[in-house]
Amino acid sequence: MRSKFDEQLAELNNHLIEMGGMVEQAITNAKKALVEQDVELAQEIITSDDQIDNKEKEIEGLCLKLLLQQQPVASDLRLVSSVLKMLTDLERIGDHAADISEITLLLADKQYIKKLEHIPQMAEATMYMVTKSIDAFVKKDIDLAQKVIDYDDVVDDLFVAIKNELIELINHNAANGDQAIDLIMIAKYFERIGDHATNVAEWVIFSLTGAHEYNQNPPCIRQEDPALT
């Protein structure tokens, strides 16, 4: 019985790695579409978000199957429940990549008011966080999960830099206002992706230790900005 359960856990790992790869690709493509003003790629990201949603449902089904058909011990229950929480964050990352692409479509026929430097850096940083958070889960690596959590400061600092630069442009010329707001929203979506990757890393730690040293309660999804849900 236990060997069957372990096989299904391995299958669960593989599916989670696959979903992680899908959202990493979504972030990569969202950055590329934005920088290159690639309308076709932006539309492809929006359309392919359904595939991420379907993968989430597939993994949820496997988690429920593990819980109902096997006899998990407490540590197994903690692991499976943590995966269910991770799925929510990964799915939201896919949503935010689609959100970025929708704004990219609006900006596709406009010249950017500034060279895009920090936003691509944010994208790279969030891709790193997503990749390493999934690696931490697969490798059961608490130290790596902690590095992901700490790295969120890099994303937050980039967001502040972008916001300040764009506010400066608005102050210099009010005509920059509409596009500056769109770019700030894109930066905010990348910042939210970093938050969700942090959540995944926190759930990794919880799945391994049963404790969450950063709050009194287990990690939970951060309060969403209503504009970004």
pLDDT score of 35 more than 80: yes
Which are the contacts of 80, defined by CB distance < 8 A and separation ≥ 6?
12, 63, 66, 67, 72
In a domain, 219, yes or no: yes
The conformation of residue 218, written as its DSSP 8-state character, comes to -
pLDDT score of 52 more than 60: yes
In a domain, 53, yes or no: yes
Q: What is the pLDDT of residue 139?
A: 93
In a domain, 209, yes or no: yes
Residues 179 and 116: beta-carbon distance below 8 Å: no
Residues 12 and 138: beta-carbon distance below 8 Å: no
Domain count, the chain: 1
pLDDT score of 145 more than 90: yes
| Sequence letter at residue 84 | L
Structural domain boundaries enclosing 121: 2-224
pLDDT score of 219 more than 50: no
In a domain, 40, yes or no: yes
Mean pLDDT (whole number) for 138-159: 96
**67-124 pLDDT, tens digit each:** 887 677 788 888 889 999 999 999 999 999 999 999 999 999 999 999 999 999 999 9
Share of the chain above pLDDT 70, in %: 90
The secondary structure element, H or E, covering residue 144 is: helix 142-172
Nearest residue to 59 via CA among 98, 11, 6: 11
Spatial distance between the Cα atoms of 173 and 52, rounded to a whole number of angstroms: 40
What pLDDT band is residue 229 in, cutting at 50, 70 and 90? very low
In a domain, 229, yes or no: no
Q: What is the pLDDT of residue 213?
A: 55
In a domain, 27, yes or no: yes
Spatial distance between the Cα atoms of 89 and 221, rounded to a whole number of angstroms: 7
Nearest residue to 94 via CA among 17, 28, 15, 150: 28
Which CATH number characterizes residue 144's domain?
Answer: 1.20.58.220
Q: What is the pLDDT of residue 1?
A: 54
pLDDT score of 225 more than 70: no
Q: What is the pLDDT of residue 218?
A: 44
Predicted TM-score (pTM) of this structure: 0.88
